[in-house]
Amino acid sequence: MADSEPANQKPAGRTALISVGRIWTIAASTFTQLVRMKTFYFLLAFAVLLVAAGNLNILFSAVEQLSMIKKVSFGTMDLFAWLFAIVATALLIPRDLEDRTLYTILSKPVLRIEYLLGKLIGVLVVILLSLVTMFVIFSALLHIRTIDFLHTEVAILEQAGRSQEMIQAEAEAIIAQGLRKEMWVALWAIFLKSAVVASVTIFLSTIASSSLFTIIISTIIFLVGHASQMMIDFWKDQFVDNIVVKMLAGLFRIIVPDYQIFSFYEGIILGEKVLPHLVWSMTGMSLFYVGVFLLLGLLVFFDKEF
């Protein structure tokens, strides 16, 4: 009896509010789960791919070679981030349900919003860490290759007896293709995109009962989302005065996130200027989408029966 005495006097009001600790506990367990599913082996594959791409220097000039390394690296990071966001998120909740782990979690004093947020944060932490690791690997490689090229190209031009201006110009062209700190903005864009993708997927997985369905629909939304602005413009041109079409277009705009807002990062990695207002509006839009889809997910999940 002595053992259960303090339990009897437990204040009942302790857990009415949302708790960061519980969200973090669920996020941490999601993180461990994904890590122990050996997801990080992907990073090894990434490193190998990059080294291979970095050494394919027969076909290209120095500038082309560097820009190819960048395109391949960021392309892979982007692919990894959104694909992982869809697949991992789609698998997690149905799995908990199948294993009845969800019963034991929700029969503890855990709010459903805490569970959803925890899952989302767990997935996003894995993505963020992977992206940062990939970025570090990429930076090291790009840096080495840039210096490499600089030396060999300059030496070749000097040997050929070219003018100092010409050598200077070539060196500048190579350096321009090298590492820039603006690339972090590109990484941020990729991460935000995957955050939106993950929250769309979490919403879908609260409605659907099968992971496969969730994965397919989320992928379709992802693909359509890249052309959403185009489609909306097309409809508006076709049916200028049709109020129904206008409303549908508005609805469409909310349901299907405009994934095009993230695509400016491709310019950044190739050396274009970063426009701060674009970064801010992208960040704001992403938070908005994440919020909306989490809220929709919660609405479904709140009354869901297991």
Partner 1 sequence: MSVPAVEVTNLTKVFPVSLRKEYVVAVDNLSFQVNAGEVYGLIGPNGSGKSTSMKVVLGLMAPTEGETRIFGVSSRDVRARNDIGFLPENPYFYKHLSGAETLKFYGKLCGMRGRDLKDRIGELLELVGLEHAKDRRLGGYSKGMLQRIGLAQALIQRPRLVILDEPTAGVDPVGSRQIRDLILKLKEDGISVFLCSHLLEQVQEVCDEVGIIFEGRMRREGKLEDLVSIGNQTSLVLENASSELVDKIERLIETEGDGAELVEKGNPRTTLERMFIRIASSEKQEKEEN
d(CA 150, CA 138): 18
Q: Which residue lies nearer to partner 1 by CB, 4 or 159?
A: 4
Residue 101 CB, nearest approach to partner 1 (Å): 6
Residue 12 CB, nearest approach to partner 1 (Å): 5
Residue 6 CB, nearest approach to partner 1 (Å): 7
Q: Which residue lies nearer to partner 1 by CB, 37 or 44?
A: 37
Which residue ranges make up the site for partner 1 (CB under 8 A)?
A: 1, 3-4, 6-8, 10, 12-16, 19, 21-22, 25-26, 29, 32-33, 36-37, 99-101, 103-111, 303, 305-306
Tally of CB atoms within 10 A around 41: 9
Q: Which residue lies nearer to partner 1 by CB, 92 or 141?
A: 92
Nearest to 294 by CA among 116, 128, 124, 125: 116
Give the CA radius of gyration of the chain: 24
Residue 122 CB, nearest approach to partner 1 (Å): 12
Q: Which residue lies nearer to partner 1 by CB, 103 or 288?
A: 103
Q: Which residue lies nearer to partner 1 by CB, 55 or 101?
A: 101
Q: Which residue lies nearer to partner 1 by CB, 22 or 145?
A: 22
Residue 116 CB, nearest approach to partner 1 (Å): 14
Judge contact between 27 and 121, C-beta under 8 A: yes
